[in-house]
Structure 1
Amino acid sequence: MAEYEALIIGLEMLVELGIQYVEILGDSMHVLKQIAGEYKCLSLSLAVYPVAARNLLTEFREATWEHIPREENFAANELAQVATSIQMPEDCVQRIIKIGKKSLPSILTTGMEIDVNSAAITEDDWRNPIMTYL
């Protein structure tokens, strides 16, 4: 969920800025494969996230994505460090920084509705003992 929240919020910001080309660098192969349509999302609680991300991607003229292994994804860490250490230059009299609050999950704020189909679990289903245990 956290990976999708970051992706969706980032895409919303880029749409607001009028960006036409986006390159997504992600360390979650699962998320990237879902937005590419190569993997299906089987979790009912997460099913709306790939749909919301794909809907946002239609706002761009071109969108690409690339998997970056977690150990090599230092760019995300660097961006987080920069965001938390913004300093005002000494000669700066005024600086406006727009700070907004996003409510989570982000998909609820878009008013998006989707139907999620799910197979019912019957008593003889092999998953039933596992579900009962969990």
Structure 2
Amino acid sequence: MLVELGIQSVEILGDSMLVLKQIAGEYKCLNPSLAVYLVAARNLLTEFREATWEYIPREENFAANQLAQVASGIQMPEDCVQRIIKIGRKSLPSVLTYLQSGGSLS
């Protein structure tokens, strides 16, 4: 998406020091099934004029941790290739939203 938008600089925030070091070329990827993703990531990075990455522990990145928790609990049927999941946050508890829309508790 960033390439399609013409973005030239990208900052990658990751919670896996191993993956970040592999992308940087400091570590080798010894798992053949993961090496494909490493090659794809490195190829994608060539599309940007500038790319930086920073390690952020998962405990310090609440949004990424929450998304990982949601993703780890999702069951995908074997015949399902793709599933879109909408995640949102309500600004008010549902009862207050109801009251603001003219509802009554009586």
TM bucket normalised to smaller: 0.5 to 0.7
53, 56, 74: which is aligned to 2:44?
56
Does residue 84 (structure 1) correspond to residue 72 (structure 2)? The answer is no
Residues 79 and 70 of structure 1: is their aligned pair in 2 closer, same or farther, counting only changes over 3 Å? closer
Give how far 1:78 is off: 6.8
Q: Which amino acid aligns with 2:61?
A: N
Aligned pairs (5 A) from 1:33-48: 33-48=21-36
The structure that has the greater radius of gyration is 2
Identity rate, percent: 82
Give how far 1:46 is off: 1.1
- What TM-score, normalized by structure 2, do the two folds share? 0.61
- What TM-score, normalized by structure 1, do the two folds share? 0.49
Q: Which runs of 5+ in 2 are unaligned?
A: 71-85, 91-106
- Aligned mates of 2:89, 2:7 — CA distance in 1: 23
- Aligned mates of 1:68, 1:56 — CA distance in 2: 21
Q: Write out the 4+ residue segments of structure 1 that deviate beyond 4 Å after TM superposition.
A: 77-81
Cα RMSD of the aligned pairs, angstroms, is 2.4
Q: Secondary structure of the equivalent of 2:38?
A: helix
2:13 equivalent in structure 1: 25
Residues 78 and 19 of structure 1: is their aligned pair in 2 closer, same or farther, counting only changes over 3 Å? farther
Give how far 1:66 is off: 0.3
Aligned residues: 74
